[in-house]
Amino acid sequence: MTRTLAWARLWTALRAVMAVVILAAVFAQLGKSLATAAADGKDMLTIVTNFFSFFTILSNVLAAVVLLISVVWFVRRRPGADAFEGDGTRLVEPAGLATAIACVSTYMIITGLVYNTLLRSITLPQGSEPIPWSNETMHLIGPLFLLADVFLGPARRSLPWSRVLAIIVFPIVWVVYTLLRGPLITNPANDQPFWYPYPFLNPNNPGGWGSVVIYVILISIAFIVVGSIVVGWRRRTGARVTA
């Protein structure tokens, strides 16, 4: 079923809808954050920078962008110009797009896992609560869709195992950025001389750097495992294209 042109059209339409919903959720939450910051007289640049320093926000934006790129590719594809299997009947996505989809799928799955296991029960300061529908879209609906996309997405291309390394580059860069930036930013909520997007990355919390290192190692393992599953499934079900 997932190899038919009819399914490719349907799933591409779903990707377009999901991308729009994700972007709407992100910018609705950004609008609320800016409105609250303006009312409290906070520095708007810091608020915007902090907002886009959350892995959740970055993974959702990247996922929406990649989904839209996949839609554009599908709509603008030229018959006969794209890669096909030997019988010439199966459309296959470009290698770069296949890698990008594998990356954002992994990021969104991890976002859903981390939020729903570590962060959902955390009480936020009054006035900083997320918009419920936006929060659920970014932490549950979006991740579930990208999980489904791994197994149901059309035009899948097989990827080499080396793409797992490509998947973990962005999370590593983000962790380094977060830990270097954290002590340089004053928390706009309580004026503490540090700001970290997630409590498990804050070395000022109980457990200190030891706790941070353990969480980073565990989450890194999760990225490798989920990334390997995503790539492994593509290797099992995707088209092998050598050209």
For 45, the domain range is 5-237
Whether residue 242 lies inside any domain: the answer is no
Domain count, the chain: 1
Residue 236 CB neighbour total at 10 angstroms? 9
Residue 69, in any domain of the structure: yes
Is residue 83's pLDDT more than 50? no
83 forms beta bridges with 92
- 86 pLDDT band (50/70/90 cuts)? very low
In a domain, 243, yes or no: no
Contact (Cβ atoms closer than 8 angstroms) between residue 84 and residue 90: yes
Task: Answer whether residue 55 is part of any domain.
Answer: yes
Which residues have a Cβ under 8 Å from the Cβ of 86 and sit 6 or more positions away?
Answer: none
Q: What is the CB neighbour count within 10 angstroms for residue 82?
A: 16
Average pLDDT value for residue range 134-142: 96
pLDDT (average), residues 63-75: 96
Q: Report yes or no on 61 lying in a domain.
A: yes
Residue 189 is assigned to a structural domain of this protein: yes
Distance CA 70, CA 153 (A): 10
- The overall average pLDDT reported for the chain is 89
Confidence (pLDDT) at 242: 64
